[in-house]
Amino acid sequence: MAGLLDEDRPQPHSLETEKAVLAAMLKEPASCGNSAIELLGSADVFYSHVHREIFQAVCTLLGDAGEVDLISLAHILHKKGVLEDIGGEVFLAELYSSIATTANFENWCQIVRDYHILRGMINVCSDSLRQCYSVDSDIKNIIDEIESRIYQVRNTNVKSDIISLRESIRDVFTNIQKIINNEVEVGIPTLYPDLNKLIIGLKPGEMFVLAARPSIGKTTFALNIIRDVAMKGNMQRGVMFFSLEMTAEQIARKLLCMEAEVGEGSFYDKSFRPQDMTKLTSAVSNFRNANIFIDPTAGLTVPEMRAKVRRLKSQNNIQLVCIDYLQLMKSGSNPESRQQEVAEISSGIKKLAKDFNVPVLVLAQLNREVEKGSSASVRPKLSNLRESGAIEQDADIVAFLHRDRDQAKDLNREMMVAGLDTELIIEKNRNGQTGIVSLSFHPHIGQFRSKSRYSDEDHPQPA
């Protein structure tokens, strides 16, 4: 291992390919020169310092005059005092004559980039070994930093292309046709038809904030969503659930009882019936192929979350991330105030949604101002989002779960059958409509049901 990481050992490279790229830039500066700048990015991709100097000089000439010739190139290298160091005008002439055609130019650029990525990975791994031997550093931070740097190197070759509007319009029109013909899915549909009409499903890259006061049922509603997403049909969608408040066992128990329609309280108040065991056994079988992953880490930071999503997405087809809940997270930096920290967390979550192209369902707390209204019917507003207005700005969708919290205190059999009247208020929707979805909450089995879908006979009966 020591021999492999010997700093005196040459790193992967191809000097001949680097020369071919530079020769193509000199022969056809208008096409190959400008393409090289776009494909390679900077002089750092070259292994040879001589080639880095020449590439930088060619880029300067293209930027200043738009043209390149050997005399101008020699002049600019002479002004920098490096002409003789690289071999003088003779070397430049030999370089110019080193290729007969530029037909394989893009392939040469790719080879140069690939070697650059390998060298970057070697450097990261070498630095990582040194960090791992350092006993003064925090282990968790070391691992997060190593994963982040490896991911950066891995994506060095990913570039953002400039897209012609003509091409984009054509692609968009084709996609619209597929949507109309039900050939593609715009967003992941939820089990609530009225909600789907407003938001058109949970769309990749979007940040969906679900906010409410404590004890309204935020976590339960989110679990209803992820259970349906992970177990619907044969899609086998992976779901990552970050539970900063509850343990993995508590979340698993809630999901199991929800699927079985068995009240959690029946385990403790002696109301559990023999037929309930059959329901639980069937529910366990239903979850056999569900790709739901629970992370109960308390005080999770944004960098830690990114590292975990990155790993799980590549291994388990993660298509939905859920966070319970935002105000329990940490930014991973040292902000001046809690408001600034929440703003950094919110921005980090939105970036995670875009970078990994998955919808992120984020639960959040509302401040106490929402409870100061004259009656329980007073609905929350965007200004009630706790600790930072940045949540409202970053979110694509902001929804409030709202009901009379005191109603559940005197819950009788009749109310359990009918369910508690609940509103899901879509207060902000960047890419769609706002509105109110009427739900019924059945706390004895932990289910939210859409009022428009069920008749009285469909309501779950309590024991």
Q: What angle do CA 177, 179, 185 make, to 5 degrees?
A: 150
Ordered per-residue pLDDT tens for the chain, 463 residues: 445 555 667 888 999 999 999 999 988 888 888 788 878 878 889 999 999 999 988 888 887 767 888 898 899 899 888 888 888 889 999 998 899 898 889 899 999 999 998 888 888 888 888 777 776 666 777 777 777 777 777 666 555 556 678 777 888 888 888 878 877 778 888 889 899 989 988 999 999 999 888 888 899 999 999 988 888 765 678 899 999 888 988 888 888 888 888 877 777 766 777 787 888 888 888 888 788 899 898 888 887 788 788 878 877 888 999 998 888 888 766 777 788 888 888 888 998 899 888 999 999 888 776 666 545 567 787 877 766 678 888 889 999 988 876 665 666 666 666 678 888 999 889 888 899 999 988 888 888 888 765 544 455 555 5
| Amino acid 371: pLDDT | 63
DSSP string, 168-205: HHHHHHHHHHHHHTT-S-SSB--S-HHHHHHH-SB-TT
Closest CA to 185 of 175, 197, 193, 170: 175
Give the pLDDT confidence score for residue 332 in this predicted structure: 66
The pLDDT assigned to 15 comes to 93
Give the per-residue pLDDT at 375. 53
Distance (Å, whole) CA 263 – CA 463: 9
Positions annotated as catalytic residues are 245
Whether the bond between 325 and the residue before it is cis, its omega within 30 degrees of 0, is yes
Burial per residue of 275-287, b for 16 or more beta-carbon CB atoms within 10 angstroms, e otherwise: ebeebbeebeeee
> Can you give the pLDDT at residue 1?
46
Q: Give the tokens for residue 10.
A: 């040459």
Cα separation, 258 vs 251, in Å, equals: 10
Against a cut of 0.85, is the pTM above it? no
| Alpha-carbon distances of 82 from 21, 88, 344, 438, rounded to whole Å | 20, 9, 45, 74
For the chain, which residues make up each domain, given as ranges? 15-154, 184-458
pLDDT of residue 374: 46
Which homologous superfamily is 15-154 in?
A: DNAb Helicase; Chain A (1.10.860.10)
The pLDDT value given to residue 456 = 47
What CATH number belongs to 184-458?
Answer: 3.40.50.300
Could you tell me if 320 and 188 are in contact, meaning their C-beta atoms sit under 8 angstroms apart?
yes
